[in-house]
Amino acid sequence: MKREVSHARFPKAEAMKLFSCPNCRQVVFFENVVCERCGHALGYEPKQNRMLALEPEDGIWKSVGTHSDGKLWKYCANYEYGACNWLVEGEREETLCLACRHNLIIPDLSDTERVSLWQKMEQAKRRLFYSLLRMKLPLVTRAEDPEGLGFEFLSNDESSDQAVMTGHDEGLITIALIEADDAEREKRRHAMNEPYRTLLGHFRHEIGHWYWDRLVRDGGVLAECRAIFGDDEEDYNAALQRHYAEGARPDWQLEFVSAYAASHPWEDFAETWAHYLHIVDTLNTGHAWGVVIDPRVDDQGLLTTKIDIDVFDDAVTMDQIADAWLPLATALNSFNRSMGHQDLYPFVLSERVIEKLRFIHDLTHGRIGHGRSGNAAKPAAA
């Protein structure tokens, strides 16, 4: 017997784009499962990037309102646990949505505390997949490919002294469930002297390693990537040991987006990849909200911008993205300081970093590389 789903499990949060209820046109957000105005059930349909209003029919759901196409839909199986609001076509045998089909290990569903942490994990993961789908990047499961993308959400084994480590290994992404505990994550952020540490940041970084395999290694652009990021054949384990023992070199800000990016070319790529997704996704939100930045004291227009670009459009350049990002990030940091919070984006993009972001931009838009082939593997990356 199915348990009753509490709508409170899905927090209202502003999504990358704004959605509206197809039945009553009320503004709704990415995680909503019910419209507060008309009461219709809501679900996100990822293939066409739309929110559907739903009514029960034949044991599943029928879409109604402006997006109604006569199709029947069902929620992802993880909806039952308050962990997903994505939809699957009603006639399909699959029970998991495009994002959740990559899950390999999830927490013990009888443990309410772990389920609560997992819900936060899934919320971050769905935002990752929103961007990947909008960017039309390849996504394959481990059932489809031995190095396909898979997620394991693991908790520490109380009988063992070995802690779960977040990392990537040939398509397998392990996320330590404790990272969803805000207090513990903040504790780790301070301990590791990091200016920024979020669940979404973990997902974006780790999947950067997977896309290095798919788009760089198998895409025929190793030489081009090495020219930008350095020699990835450098001993990875030795490089990390040196980084943790000695720290990043003093002038790392001139060439790297973060101190950790300076540890090894693989980490530089993954960190830059993550920041590219941070920037693109935030600009997409700014575009949805019609954000205009026009400081009263900016006589030279250096911090003035109107975010009127569709960052997912192939015609948009990295220069346009960088020009829009600087004013937006500066304004967002100022808002955060006014509320007593740390900077929303506590990083500086040097010209060298923007060059690296340009490589990621061209890679994700298919302007370099030639697909995915070969089965070469690399050591696990943290």
User: Considering only CA atoms, which of 123, 269, 256 is closest in space to residue 209?
Assistant: 269
Provide the token pair at 52.
């559907």
Q: Give which of 238, 237, 233, 229 is closest to 265, Cα–Cα.
A: 229
Instruction: Give the integer Cα–Cα distance in Å for 141 and 143.
Output: 5
Output the pLDDT for position 370: 67
Q: Are strands 172-176 and 150-154 parallel, antiparallel or unpaired?
A: parallel
CB 37 within 8 A of CB 26: yes
Q: What is the C-alpha separation between 24 and 275, in angstroms, rounded? A: 36
Are 273 and 204 within 8 A, CB to CB?
yes
> Structure pTM?
0.90
pLDDT at position 160: 54
Contact 122, 186 (CB under 8 A): no
Q: How does pLDDT run along the chain (382 residues), one tens digit per residue?
A: 333 333 334 444 444 678 999 999 999 999 999 999 999 999 999 999 999 999 999 889 999 988 777 789 999 999 999 999 999 999 999 999 999 999 999 999 999 999 999 999 999 999 999 999 999 999 999 999 999 999 999 998 654 557 889 999 999 999 999 999 999 999 999 998 899 999 999 999 999 999 999 999 999 999 999 999 999 999 999 999 999 999 988 999 999 999 999 999 999 999 999 999 999 999 999 999 999 999 998 778 789 999 999 999 999 999 999 999 999 999 999 999 999 999 999 999 999 999 999 999 999 999 998 643 333 334 344 4
Q: Quote the distance between the C-alpha of residue 67 and its chain's center.
A: 26
In this structure, is the dihedral angle defined by the CA atoms of residues 128, 132, 138 and 140, taken in order, positive or negative? positive
Beta bridge partners of 57: 60
C-alpha 264/C-alpha 235 separation (Å) is 9
Give residue 157's pLDDT.
67
Rounded to 10 degrees, the C-alpha dihedral 21/25/26/28 comes to: 40
Question: How is residue 8 written in tokens?
Answer: 């409170």
The H or E element spanning position 143 is none
Q: Which is nearest to 134 in space by CA: 380, 266, 302, 313? A: 313
Spatial separation of the C-alpha atoms in residues 201 and 261, rounded to whole Å? 14
Contacts of 43 (CB under 8 A, 6+ apart): 33, 51, 52, 54, 61, 73, 75, 85, 86, 87
